[in-house]
Amino acid sequence: MIKVVAIVLFIAFGLALLIGIGSRPTIGFSNFTANGGFLPNGWRGVFMSMVFVIFSFIGTEVVAVTAGEAKDPKTAIPRAMRSMVGRLTLFYWERSLSLIGIVPWNQIQPARMLRRALRESVSADRCPAGRSRREFRGDHAAASSMNCNLYLVSRMLFSLARGGYAPVSLGRVSSRGTPVIALLVSTRAWRLRWSSRCFHRKRIRLSIRDLHFRGLFVWLMIFVTHLYFRPKWDAMGGPPLPVRTIGYPYTSLLGCAAIVAIIASTWWIEGMRVTITAGLHGSEC
């Protein structure tokens, strides 16, 4: 809710500045056509921006994990996926329009912002004042991420146990239907990872780039898995799938190619070139 409220307020204030609501002078829509006009760097600039845009959508795949707890997954999951993608697209589309309308595009420096964020992270670790200023933002982001990931990992362990691929105890649930043992194992594994020397030594240098690489790598594996899953399912004579991807296998192949291209493009983007090496090096920890 904190994130949603912040985005809605940002959009509202941005629109107010653009159309002249309030005491400030009207900015108008001149920034959309100034400084080289629309698409000043062509479609290459649009593709290179995907590195930053797609990061906002990492984690959407978690919706599929909730299928095991949905009363009617055949209806609920496709509807949830469509509504989630629609809301995210609408939010980020409106926020981007507000940002570009207020600030000329050539004054927005993603690489500089990224370096500043890393410097602030380092200074916050060394300076108590820096920690006090940023602790709410950091704690909120960490709590939000961990809430999502603990749910994801515990349900995955539960599903693996029920399928016979993990110890049976991980598939047990409490009287309220919660896989408590799987949740405790997930929490313990996270705690060991957090306290490891390897994680602390590299978390500032690799955090953003490593997460970016890992998120895209997970998406790549989802596409690859889907390419192998469909033929196996049909060969086994399983029941009709409630949701079938349009244009299979070409859409999955296109998705694989797009993810690989986005990962590769980080090599030519200032401040993001280390994404590939950070992701591969971070996985060694």
Give the span between the Cα atoms of 174 and 185, in whole angstroms: 15
Q: Residue 144 pLDDT more than 50?
A: yes
b/e sequence 221-243, b meaning 16+ C-beta within 10 Å:
ebbeebeeebeeeeeeeeeeeee
281 Cβ contact list (under 8 Å, min separation 6): 202, 206
Tally Cβ neighbours within 10 Å of residue 274.
17
Looking at residue 133, its pLDDT comes to 54
Give the span between the Cα atoms of 232 and 243, in whole angstroms: 16
Last-in-domain residue among 147, 179, 195: 195
Would you give the DSSP letter of residue 284?
T
Is there a single domain that holds both residue 2 and residue 85?
A: yes
Q: Burial-class residue 205 by CB neighbours within 10 Å (0-12, 13-18, 19+).
A: middle
165 Cβ contact list (under 8 Å, min separation 6): none
Is there a single domain that holds both residue 274 and residue 212?
A: yes
Tally Cβ neighbours within 10 Å of residue 122.
12
Three-class DSSP category at 248? coil
Q: Residue 280 pLDDT more than 80?
A: no
Is there a single domain that holds both residue 217 and residue 283?
A: yes
Rounded mean pLDDT, 5-27: 83
Give the span between the Cα atoms of 115 and 84, in whole angstroms: 31
User: Residue 197's pLDDT band (boundaries 50, 70, 90)?
Assistant: very low
Answer for the pair 73, 67: CB distance below 8 angstroms, yes or no: yes
Is there a single domain that holds both residue 220 and residue 176?
A: no
Give the span between the Cα atoms of 154 and 168, in whole angstroms: 14
Answer for the pair 105, 40: CB distance below 8 angstroms, yes or no: yes
Is there a single domain that holds both residue 25 and residue 98?
A: yes
Last-in-domain residue among 160, 175, 195: 195
Looking at residue 259, its pLDDT comes to 94
Looking at residue 279, its pLDDT comes to 73
| Residue type at 248 in one-letter notation | Y
**What would the two tokens of residue 102 be?**
């207020």
User: Residue 284's pLDDT band (boundaries 50, 70, 90)?
Assistant: very low
Q: What is the CA radius of gyration of the chain?
A: 22
Inside any domain, residue 115: no
Last-in-domain residue among 166, 195, 224: 195
Note down the domain range covering 163.
126-195
Evaluate if pTM is beyond 0.85. no
Is there a single domain that holds both residue 285 and residue 219?
A: yes
Looking at residue 196, its pLDDT comes to 52
Answer for the pair 62, 151: CB distance below 8 angstroms, yes or no: yes
Inside any domain, residue 114: no
Q: Any idea which residue has 């004054």 for tokens?
A: 107
Tally Cβ neighbours within 10 Å of residue 284.
7
Answer for the pair 240, 279: CB distance below 8 angstroms, yes or no: no
pLDDT tens-digit profile of 46-103? 888 888 888 778 888 888 887 777 778 788 888 888 888 888 888 888 888 888 888 8
Is there a single domain that holds both residue 96 and residue 4?
A: yes
Inside any domain, residue 206: yes
Is there a single domain that holds both residue 38 and residue 139?
A: no
Total domains, the chain: 3
Inside any domain, residue 61: yes
Inside any domain, residue 118: no
User: Residue 282's pLDDT band (boundaries 50, 70, 90)?
Assistant: low
